[in-house]
């Protein structure tokens, strides 16, 4: 019997960590700095391509008027609702088809067929059917995120090691325990991958939907600015989309770290 | 290990057969396992040892024959060749399956101590060595106080020294917990060293049964191991 005690958590080397954390920001800072320089030296015409400072000032003005917050809030609301609805349906279908052969045989082929339709091509249909109100945009986002969540949930569940399930059965776990303690945790890494992908789809869908059929939201803000040749606001909208995209990716990443801590166990020890 | 003289059968197998499609894996298997006995199953690779164990465990259905428990049906636990630990649960959670039950927690503590892994209770399987993982698997198998423990080459992947330590640990706990044990192994030395009786599975059926040696006599272990090996490769085949 080895009488070794578990290795204590490794103390991170502080200096190196800080450098690695700063490194990803070097390029964005350089680009924005260069952009500002090009604008102030007149290399970029401020009419066609405003400087970062001008974009920032535009953002401040819109924020003071309350327009910015209102549009971000409505876009966030649509994105979240669409993700919740589409994600839940995709997850439920994925679980159902992952555990039930009958359900899989009945529905999987049809779902896979629907999946091949680009969901943005449904925009005219959705607008004609339910108008350009909130339900239309939320439906489009839902449809967009449903499939990646479905596919990954199904695939994750189907690839859980059957030997572990057999062990669970022979060790007297109930069906519910087998699902919650073996199948779901086993499928979780793949499901979270699907979620991360779905977040990307969510923003893309929303931009398009808000650009084409809306009177509010960041996408609308950009289209509206286009009509007034308001370059500052257009670029501001693009920057906001980039920030929101980065934010949702960060949330997904942290969710992964939180839920999949056991995967880091091995690395942490070394 | 000493077998009680007034042995009672725990399990009786009559004319058991198993086939996969047209392929006959086992036929005419007749066996009685006594309570408290430690039996080894040996034989050529692909000979059907694992299949027999899985049939006894109820993981698969037999094609023909019967498997009966003269007394009451025992609680059976299988220890697999691969540890089959859940990577997302800590050592303790793997043993209790995250069930919050005071008695279960107490027993898990006892079993962890028994296999020498109390200090590792909160680690994940990925942080353990192969031998430690098998000790967790052993502790998990003992949690439900089984009467029948089925071991399908659980030590196959371990190095010689760790393997030897595990053999002793298994023998000790089997005695303490008064288990009936069936061990599938490739290793005739292991069979001779550990078992009260070694059954050779050959041509799909049980052909020989070698009685275990006096465990205190190292030379006798070698003799029995040689005899088992001879039985396995004997081209003539012996009495059924
Ligand atoms: N599910 C199955 N379907 C078809 N054939 C199977 C199945 N399971 C086992 N077999 C066949 O049954 C035979 C016996 O397999 P088994 O695993 O019981 O052998 P074994 O004695 O345990 O071999 P080893 O020592 O290599 O583990 C093999 O030829 C194997 O191919
Ligand atoms: Mg085998």
Tokens 């809306």 correspond to A214
Q: Does B86 touch chain A (CB under 8 A)?
A: yes
- Return the residue whose CA atom lies nearest to atom 29 of ligand 1: B46
Q: Residue B127 and residue A1: Cβ atoms within 8 Å?
A: no
Residues A60, A77: contact at Cβ < 8 Å? no
Sheet containing strand B23-34, edge to edge, reads B23-34, B9-20, B64-68
Domains along the sequence of chain A with CATH: 51-269 (1.10.3720.10)
Structure tokens at A74: 């409505």
Predicted pLDDT at A1 = 42
Confidence at A266, pLDDT banded by 50, 70, 90: low
The DSSP secondary-structure symbol of A183 reads I
Q: Does A174 touch chain B (CB under 8 A)?
A: no
Residue B200 in domain: yes
Going A223 to A225 to A230 to A234, the CA torsion angle's sign is negative
Confidence at B235, pLDDT banded by 50, 70, 90: low
Structure tokens at B92: 């303790």
Residues of B in contact with A185 (CB under 8 A): 86, 88
Confidence at B79, pLDDT banded by 50, 70, 90: very high
**Of A163, A186, A262, which has the smallest distance from its Cβ to B84's Cβ?**
A163
Identify the domain containing residue B54 by its residue range: 9-75+146-233
Average the pLDDT over B139-146 and give the result: 94
* pLDDT for B4 beyond 50: no
Q: Report CA(B25)–ligand 1 centroid distance (Å).
A: 7
CA distance B18 to B164: 33
* pLDDT > 90 in chain A, percent: 55
* pLDDT for B115 beyond 50: yes
Neighbours of A241 (CB within 10 A): 18
Residue B152 in domain: yes
* pLDDT for A62 beyond 70: yes
Neighbours of B2 (CB within 10 A): 8
Outline where B115-237 has alpha helix (H): 130-142, 160-176, 188-194, 218-233
Residue B108 in domain: no
Q: Does B164 touch chain A (CB under 8 A)?
A: no
Q: Does A172 touch chain B (CB under 8 A)?
A: yes
Confidence at B207, pLDDT banded by 50, 70, 90: confident
Structure tokens at B161: 């020294």
- Return the residue whose CA atom lies nearest to atom 24 of ligand 1: B45
Secondary structure (3-state) at B1? coil
Residue B119 in domain: no
ipTM of the complex: 0.88
- The total domain count for chain B is 1
CA distance B107 to A74: 55
CA distance A4 to A2: 6
Q: Report CA(A158)–ligand 2 centroid distance (Å).
A: 25
Tokens 């994750």 correspond to A156
* pLDDT for A268 beyond 60: no
Tokens 């929101």 correspond to A244
CA distance B221 to B87: 38
Q: Report CA(B47)–ligand 1 centroid distance (Å).
A: 7
Half-sphere exposure of B39 (CA within 13 A, CB side): 24
For residue B28, what is the domain's CATH number? Answer: 3.40.50.300
* pLDDT for A66 beyond 80: yes
Residues B158, B187: contact at Cβ < 8 Å? no
Residue B96 in domain: no
CA distance B132 to B143: 17
């Amino acid at each position: 019997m080895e009488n070794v005690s578990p290795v204590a958590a490794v103390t991170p080397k502080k200096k190196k960590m800080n450098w690695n954390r700063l490194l990803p920001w070097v390029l964005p800072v350089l680009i924005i700095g260069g952009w500002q320089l090009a604008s102030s030296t007149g290399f970029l015409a401020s009419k066609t391509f405003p400087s970062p400072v001008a974009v920032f000032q535009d953002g401040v003005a819109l924020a003071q008027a309350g327009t910015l917050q209102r549009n971000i809030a409505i876009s966030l609301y649509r994105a979240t609702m669409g993700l919740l609805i589409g994600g839940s349906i995709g997850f439920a279908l994925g679980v159902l088809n992952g555990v039930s052969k009958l359900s899989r045989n009945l529905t999987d082929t049809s779902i896979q067929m629907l999946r091949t339709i680009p969901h943005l091509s449904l925009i005219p249909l959705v607008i004609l059917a339910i108008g350009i109100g909130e339900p239309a945009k939320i439906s489009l986002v839902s449809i967009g995120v449903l499939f990646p969540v479905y596919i990954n949930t199904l695939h994750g569940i189907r690839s859980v090691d059957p030997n572990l399930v057999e062990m669970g059965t022979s060790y007297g776990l109930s069906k519910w325990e087998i699902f919650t303690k073996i199948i779901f945790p086993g499928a979780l890494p793949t499901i979270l991958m699907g979620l991360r992908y779905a977040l990307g789809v969510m923003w893309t869908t929303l931009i398009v939907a808000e650009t084409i059929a809306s009177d509010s939201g960041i996408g609308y803000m950009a289209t509206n600015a286009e009509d007034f040749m308001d370059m500052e606001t257009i670029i501001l909208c693009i920057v906001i989309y980039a920030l929101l995209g980065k934010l949702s990716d960060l949330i997904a990443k942290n969710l992964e770290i939180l839920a999949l801590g056991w995967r880091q166990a091995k690395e942490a020890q070394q | 290990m000493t077998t009680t003289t007034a042995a009672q059968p725990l399990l009786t197998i009559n004319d058991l057969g198993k086939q996969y499609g047209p392929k006959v894996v086992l036929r005419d298997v007749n066996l009685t396992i006594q309570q408290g006995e430690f039996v080894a199953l040996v034989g050529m690779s692909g000979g059907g040892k694992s299949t027999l164990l899985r049939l006894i465990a109820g993981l698969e259905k037999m094609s023909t024959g019967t498997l009966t428990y003269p007394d009451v049906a025992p609680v059976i636990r299988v220890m697999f060749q691969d540890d089959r630990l859940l990577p997302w649960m800590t050592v303790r959670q793997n043993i209790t399956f995250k069930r919050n039950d005071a008695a279960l927690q107490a027993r898990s503590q006892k079993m962890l101590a028994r296999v020498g892994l109390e200090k590792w209770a909160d680690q994940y399987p990925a942080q353990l060595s192969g031998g430690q993982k098998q000790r967790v698997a052993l502790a998990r198998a003992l949690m439900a106080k089984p009467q029948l423990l089925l071991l399908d080459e659980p030590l196959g992947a371990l190095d010689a020294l760790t393997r030897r330590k595990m053999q002793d640990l298994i023998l000790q706990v089997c005695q303490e917990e008064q288990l009936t044990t069936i061990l599938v192994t490739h290793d005739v030395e292991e069979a001779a060293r550990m078992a009260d009786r070694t059954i050779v599975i050959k041509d799909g059926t049980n052909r020989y049964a070698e009685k275990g040696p006096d465990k205190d006599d190292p030379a006798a272990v070698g003799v029995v191991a040689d005899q088992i090996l001879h039985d396995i490769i004997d081209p003539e085949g012996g009495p059924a």
